[in-house]
């Protein structure tokens, strides 16, 4: 049975995530999701990719999208299934996956705070992100990579921490690291991620033989070579 403290922790986490989702979904359904020029551009590009009229051309266009692969890919997958089930495509339905990823980022922040410090830090961090106006606003905007790519980066950091210290989630860590490498053309997070990996490999006394080079050239390439071929 779960201890009372655990039950309280998970209850608070659930309420925080529900609050964050409510704020984001309210913002989505009570505002105009396609602000500016970038959102329509991302949406129309994703619709063209989802059409699969010319799969090879669609694939090449996606891989050469200068703002990264992940946001248009997520939108295209969503649009593909909307078309598959005959659901009318609207701005709000196109944007919904971004809102969901924004909500999942709240949970990821909780995991990272708990992993690196304790559950209280995790819950407080999640609560702050849940009500952060800027993040809530960006969670209804498809015209950029500021929701999907940071989520991938945070997941990569969390999984690498688990991999280095507990030897868990090696395949997932390599997958998310590879996904992050093609997620954005800016690569801003890599500037912090690479020293983070090296730092973990140095301070990890239990598995000191695991190094950044081994992770990238061995485990990473072994599990996700396809990403680098792309």
The pLDDT tens digits for 98-153 are 999 999 999 999 999 998 888 888 999 999 999 998 888 888 888 777 888 889 88
Task: Give the CA radius of gyration of the chain.
Answer: 19
The 10s digit of each residue's pLDDT in 43-78 is 888 888 888 888 888 888 888 787 778 888 899 999
Q: Shortest CA distance to 157 belongs to which of 124, 133, 189?
A: 189
pLDDT-above-90 percentage for the chain: 18
How far is Cα of residue 73 from the mean position of the Cα atoms in its chain? 12
Measured on CA atoms in the order 202, 204, 205, 207, is the torsion positive or negative?
Answer: negative
Q: Which residues contact 30 (CB under 8 A, 6 or more apart)?
A: none
Q: How confident is the model at residue 35 (pLDDT cuts 50, 70, 90)?
A: low
164, two tokens: 């280095």
- Burial of residue 139 (number of CB atoms within 10 Å: 0-12, 13-18, 19+): buried
Quote the pTM value.
0.79
Residue among 221, 212, 144, 224 nearest 179 (CA): 224
Which is higher by pLDDT, 216 or 55?
55
Phi, psi (degrees; rounded to nearest 5) at 92 = -70, -40
- The tokens describing 9, both together, are 């922790």
Counting Cβ atoms within 10 Å, is residue 219 exposed (0-12), middle (13-18) or buried (19+)? middle
């Amino acid at each position: 049975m779960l201890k009372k403290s655990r039950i309280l922790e998970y209850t608070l986490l659930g309420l925080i995530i529900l609050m964050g989702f409510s704020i984001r979904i309210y913002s989505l359904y009570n505002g105009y999701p396609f602000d500016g020029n970038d959102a329509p551009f991302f949406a129309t590009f994703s619709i063209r990719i989802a059409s699969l009229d010319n799969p090879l051309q669609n694939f090449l266009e996606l891989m050469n999208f200068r703002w990264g692969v992940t946001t248009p890919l997520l939108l295209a997958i969503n649009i593909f299934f909307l078309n598959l089930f005959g659901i009318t495509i609207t701005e709000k339905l196109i944007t919904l996956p971004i809102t969901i990823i924004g909500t999942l980022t709240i949970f990821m922040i909780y995991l990272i705070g708990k992993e690196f410090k304790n559950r209280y830090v995790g819950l407080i961090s999640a609560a702050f992100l849940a009500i952060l106006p800027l993040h809530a606003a960006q969670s209804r905007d498809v015209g950029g990579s500021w929701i999907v790519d940071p989520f991938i980066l945070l997941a990569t950091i969390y999984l690498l921490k688990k991999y280095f210290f507990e030897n868990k989630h090696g395949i997932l860590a390599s997958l998310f690291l590879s996904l992050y490498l093609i997620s954005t053309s800016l690569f801003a997070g890599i500037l912090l991620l690479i020293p983070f990996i090296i730092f973990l490999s140095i301070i990890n006394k239990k598995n000191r033989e695991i190094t950044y080079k081994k992770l990238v050239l061995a485990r990473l390439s072994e599990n996700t070579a396809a990403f680098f071929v792309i």
